[in-house]
Structure 1
Amino acid sequence: MVLKIQNVTLYTGNGEKQLKTSIVVEGKKILAVGEEADRLQADTVIDGTGKTVIPGLFDMHVHLGMDGVGDPFAQVAGDTPARSAYRHHINAQKQLKSGVTSVRNLGSKWHIDLDYRNSISDGLMAGPSVYGSGQAIVMTGGHGYPFSTEADGEDGVRKAARETLKAGADVIKLMATGGVMTPGVDPGSPQLSEKEMRAAVEEALHAGKTTAAHAQGTAGIQNAVRAGITTIEHGIFLDDETIELMIKYGTVLVPTLAAPYYIVQHAESGGIPAHAVKKAVDCFKVHQESFKKALAAGVRIAAGTDAGTPFNVHGDFAKELELMHEYGMEVKDIITAATLQAAKTLNVDQTAGSLEKGKVADFVILDEDPEADISAFRKIHSVYKEGECVHESASKLEAVVG
């Protein structure tokens, strides 16, 4: 069946915005957009007057095994593998309904995200596209160690990376520094060394995979960048030298602005461990300034939330986009960061990430234009995954033909 949605505002994902235009889908693929789509006939034609179409969104940093409770580490510790698997599915459905058609899951105990990914790709269940890291690789006692793979030294980290790749990981997740949620570690302190991370990066490259580093402190970020890491997660303490290094190496920043924001907003709730509150409050302002400096300097940015951390629930991707806008990013650039740049970072931009002929038909219909009101990212009318409507609001669009 050929479906045409016409009279819409359309953001392609590559920085282009088209007015009063069309998108045509056949099966799982985009048949045409823009003027070519306007001319094509279709089995079903839907009038999208007043609506805005954007590519399906990518949340580049999620934890599907965490619900956004005050102490997610305790939640993970109390789960069985089966319960965690159910949690992955429920949280993924929340992501999908919010317009996120692809997630990069950066850390799941027992590599459950990889089995969940396979269950979706095999057709056992419906869900977003999942790009998983399995268990993250950390130094002994490093950030997130209770549900990660502990490894030390170049040989130890190399072996851990090979084992994770054997399990089917799409991306290798490494802990370059301490973090907010783990007690007894400093977010600014380096953990895995440059040489240790380089060993893992080499193994990932040999397998055609990408890498991500949890990296908050300046020295650890620099270690990760020099090691050849694909993405820096969080990037809280960025100075000019570090930003220049990221530009030189082409490193992508995934800022996860929502993560400290929600901890600070709920600091008095009593549900978040005191050590996490203190560290998040200490990091909050400098994180914002680091993002602004990286943006101004031209660092490549992909959008990610760290969903699953305290009060940072799945299905609230819009908050990250709102914060990016509040801190100075233009709407078109935000859409690119959440679509095509994310797809490029995952090396899937030939088939996904933008609304172009021949690409997979993952797209979202919004009730309003986010350039007119940034809250439009919350006003989801419908979500299409591989050409199929997987979520729709109560107000259905009118079919004018078919």
Structure 2
Amino acid sequence: MSKNIFFKGAKLISGTGNAVIENSGLLLEDNKIKEIGSADKFQLKSDTTIVDLSGKTIMPGMINCHVHITMEPVGDPFAQKQSDATIAFHAAANAKKYLKAGVTFVKDMGAPNFINIDIRDAVNSGLIEGTRILASGKPLTMTGGHGWQMGRECDGVDEVRKAAREQLRAGADFLKIMATGGVMTPGVEPGSPQLNQDEIEAAVIEAHKVGKKTSTHAQGATGIKNAVLAGIDSVEHGIYLTDEIIELMLQRGTYLVPTLNAPYFIVENGIEAGIPAYMVEKSKRVIEDHIKSFQKAKAAGVKIAMGTDGSTPFNGPEKTAFELNLMVKAGLTPMEAIVASTKTAAELLGVDKDFGTLEAGKIADFIVLNEDPLLNIDTLMNVVEVYKDGKKIIF
């Protein structure tokens, strides 16, 4: 016998970009949304449970398209030498922390020894409670390239192809490919290309053959262009975008996941907080260009999905909503930032049939807020209640 729950009285932001519904009604049947509209237009069955949310705001759970769930957001995450079991314990804790922060779905962008896949499966089976996870397995990187500490080092088309197939065999939901250097790996430059276009394309082909997507860590212009021409589905970071690259992204429907949080929190905390000097120096060097590239992409109409690079220094699960603050400061409207964190993010992940917006027929993942985030985007940093699969999560 189905169970009906009716939430009434809240402002409702659907995530579609459409107008807010005042004094809304949200009717759930089991774990799915049955109907949405004005509260006074519903005719309810006698056994319907009614929850009054007058004065609150409802919106879809946020989707964070770039996290590292196995890492701890300390000054130097790579300096920690831990067993796989300890890493898994931290990952399980982070999965719960993301959920508490109102993040009901994440895209994990790389972990050692397929631990992110194990945590995904533990959540899906109900063994642990946490946010929904899509996992990449190990990131594909050239020998000594960015993220080699947790990555699958591979060189040349044949070796990259085999590495891609290894991740897919292990159960990866998508592939993560390192196209450039980065801030957090010593001895590499953020702007320098790493895996070549033909190497990236080999991995993209393997993923697309089995209906899975690809994402690239790409900061410098040459590496970003290589990845876009290779058919990548999303560019993560995109620090040095050019007009040519933006045009290519528009032509090919490539998404941008900006991760503005990552350099912000490194610069904000600095070496005094235990962040290595090379990370701080590189972050200071790229942070202004990062914002300018984001603004250029937005102005041109590139599809933007929210991601934080979660677990870079002092950028933990609870900081997810600060990414929306930074996006709004950089020129998005609050509604655009919310859509980037819900509808567009779900489209990038390929889960928009069931998630990302509050619409009839979709899974009931949503959050409750004390204030309207369209008037105060920072209220998203203080989520009141989280519902996943139609059930209120008790923390």
Per the normalisation by structure 1, the TM-score is 0.95
Unmatched runs of 5 consecutive residues or more in structure 1: 393-402
Q: Name 2:132's counterpart in structure 1.
A: 129
Describe the superposition over 1:220-278 as per-residue Cα deviations: whole angstroms up to 9, x where unpaired. Answer: 00001011111101000112111111111110000000000000001142511111111
Cα distance, 1:379 vs. partner? 2.6
SS at match of 2:205: helix
Q: How far apart are 1:40 and its partner, in Å? A: 3.5
Does the 8 Å CA contact 1:97/1:391 hold for their aligned counterparts?
A: no
Paired residues of 2:97 and 2:130 also in contact (CA < 8 A):
no
Q: Distance in 1 between matches of 2:95 and 2:325?
A: 21
State percent identity of aligned pairs.
47
Mapped pair 1:370 → 2:373: yes
Q: What is aligned with 1:397?
A: none
Residue type of the partner of 1:54? M
Are residues 1:289 and 2:292 paired? yes
Asked if the contact 1:102–1:128 (Cα under 8 Å) also holds between the matched residues in 2, the reply is yes
Q: Which AA in structure 2 matches 1:314?
A: P
Describe the shift of the 1:126–1:270 C-alpha distance in structure 2 as closer, same or farther (beyond 3 A).
Answer: closer
Equivalent position of 2:70 in the other structure: 65
Range moving further from structure 2, 264-273 or 363-372: 264-273
Aligned pairs for 1:136-147 (under 5 A) are: 136-147=139-150
Correspondent of 2:12 among 10, 16, 23: 10
Residue correspondence of structure 1 range 180-329 to structure 2 within 5 A? 180-329=183-332
Query: For residue 117 of structure 2, what is the aligned residue in structure 1?
Result: 114
Q: Deviations over 1:43-76 (max 9, x none)?
A: 211111111111111010001111110001112x
Question: What is the aligned length?
Answer: 390
Instruction: State the distance in 1 between where 2:196 and 2:337 align.
Output: 32
Answer yes or no: is the 8 Å Cα contact 1:231–1:253 preserved in 2.
Answer: yes
Q: Return the alpha-carbon distance in structure 1 between the equivalents of residues 278 and 62 of structure 2.
A: 33
Structure-2 residue corresponding to 1:45: 50
Task: Give the residue type in structure 2 aligned to 1:135.
Answer: K
Q: Counterparts of 2:271 and 2:150 in 1: how far apart (Å)?
A: 27
Point out 4+ residue stretches in structure 1 off by more than 3 angstroms. Answer: 35-38
Q: What TM-score, normalized by structure 2, do the two folds share?
A: 0.97
Does 1 or 2 have the higher relative contact order (CA < 8 Å, sep 6+)? 1
Instruction: Determine helix, strand or coil for the equivalent of 1:269.
Output: helix
CA distance in 2, matches of 1:120, 1:371: 31
Structure 2, unaligned runs of 5 or more: none
Please say if residues 22 and 38 of structure 2, whose CA atoms lie closer than 8 Å, have aligned partners that are also in contact. no
8 Å CA contact retained: 2:95, 2:129: no
Q: Deviations over 1:128-169 (max 9, x none)?
A: 110000110000110010110001111110000001000000
Q: Does 1:167 align with 2:170?
A: yes
One-letter code aligned to 1:319: F
Q: Is the 8 A contact 1:368 1:379 kept in 2?
A: no
Q: Measured at CA, do residues 37 and 100 of structure 1 come closer, stay the same or move farther in structure 2, by a change above 3 Å?
A: farther
Match of 1:86 in 2: 89
Separation of aligned partners in 2, 1:98 and 1:196? 37
Judge conservation of contact 1:143–1:177 (CA < 8 Å) in 2.
Answer: yes
The code of the aligned residue for 1:3 comes to I
Task: Indicate conservation of the 8 Å contact 2:24/2:39, yes or no.
Answer: no
Q: Which amino acid aligns with 2:62?
A: L
User: C-alpha distance in 2, partners of 1:348/1:99?
Assistant: 18
- Determine helix, strand or coil for the equivalent of 1:211: strand
CA-CA distance at 1:15 after TM superposition: 0.4
Q: Distance in 2 between matches of 1:207 and 1:86?
A: 31
* 1:20 Cα offset (Å): 1.4
Amino acid at match of 1:245: L
After superposing the two structures, state which structure 1 stretch, 325-334 or 161-170, moved more.
Answer: 325-334
SS in 1 for 2:318: coil
Root-mean-square deviation over aligned CA pairs: 1.2
SS at match of 1:18: coil
User: 1:175 offset after TM fit, Å?
Assistant: 0.2
* Structure-1 separation of matches of 2:341 and 2:325: 12
Instruction: State the AA in 2 paired with 1:299.
Output: V
Q: Quick one: distance in 1 between partners of 2:283 and 2:110? A: 20
Corresponding position of 1:399: none
2:313 partner SS: coil
Residue by residue over 1:313-356, the C-alpha shift from the partner in whole angstroms, topping out at 9 and shown as x without a partner, is 12211110100011110111111111111111111111111101
Q: Is the 8 A contact 1:67 1:314 kept in 2?
A: no
Whole-angstrom distance in 2 between the partners of 1:139 and 1:57: 33
The counterpart of 1:54, out of the listed 56, 59, 75, is: 59
